[in-house]
Chains A and B, each alone.
Chain A
Amino acid sequence: GQQVMQIPQYQHVQEGEDFTTYCNSSTTLSNIQWYKQRPGGHPVFLIQLVKSGEVKKQKRLTFQFGEAKKNSSLHITATQTTDVGTYFCAGMPWGKFQFGAGTQVVVTP
């Protein structure tokens, strides 16, 4: 079954607003990766988090790894139309690499 879970499944955002998508694992993860897949495209690697409590920023994107290394979040500020796509987290619960179900982001102007 799905051991890497993401919420929400869908996110409708007004351009300029902020939003956060969450990734939760049923067990401790050694690392977590985030990917973005544009409509009709393929996943593109965004970032990898390894340390407990780690926070990394990429311009308007902030990635966080929980203290217990069982959850992660992606926060996007001042959403733009270029942020449209599905954001996937991925990790290795119980040693098996697995993608989360993804958060599909739709941006309205």
Chain B
Amino acid sequence: GAVVSQHPSWVICKSGTSVKIECRSLDFQATTMFWYRQFPKQSLMLMATSNEGSKATYEQGVEKDKFLINHASLTLSTLTVTSAHPEDSSFYICSASLGTGGLNEQFFGPGTRLTVL
């Protein structure tokens, strides 16, 4: 199956700093990439959907200025958590799809565990 990588796999940062997470589709060009947040033993919460070359579509309640998404190419999307605070600590997972969101299977990256001190 298609492979999606994420980097870094975990990061610890101080409160107030910004953290960038990369999501890459390694062997295919992804039409759409998704960013999720997952709390322990809970479901995946969709944060935003991004298409290459266009602005990301954020879900209700997700701050655009807080979670900056850049989809520079068909194989790379980045999520930057700006001015991170302890409440931003979470497991962030990206996924990539060959088609439009929800109608095609999503290939998930391994996730990034963010801990903000």
Contact = CB atoms under 8 A, between A and B. Distances in A.
Nearest to A102: B43
Chain A, interface residues (CB within 8 Å), range: 20 to 34
Contacts of A33: 102, 105-106
Interface of B: 1, 34, 41-46, 49, 59, 93, 95, 101-103, 105-111
Interface of A: 30-31, 33, 35, 41-45, 48, 88, 90-92, 96-102, 104
B43 A48 contact: no
A34 B52 CA distance: 26
A31 B41 CA distance: 25
Contacts of B109: 42
Nearest to A33: B105
A41 B44 CA distance: 13
A99 B103 contact: no
A35 B95 CA distance: 12
Contacts of B108: 35, 42-44
A100 B107 contact: no
A42 B102 contact: no
A99 B39 CA distance: 13
A42 B110 contact: yes
B59 to A, nearest CB: 8
Contacts of A98: 46
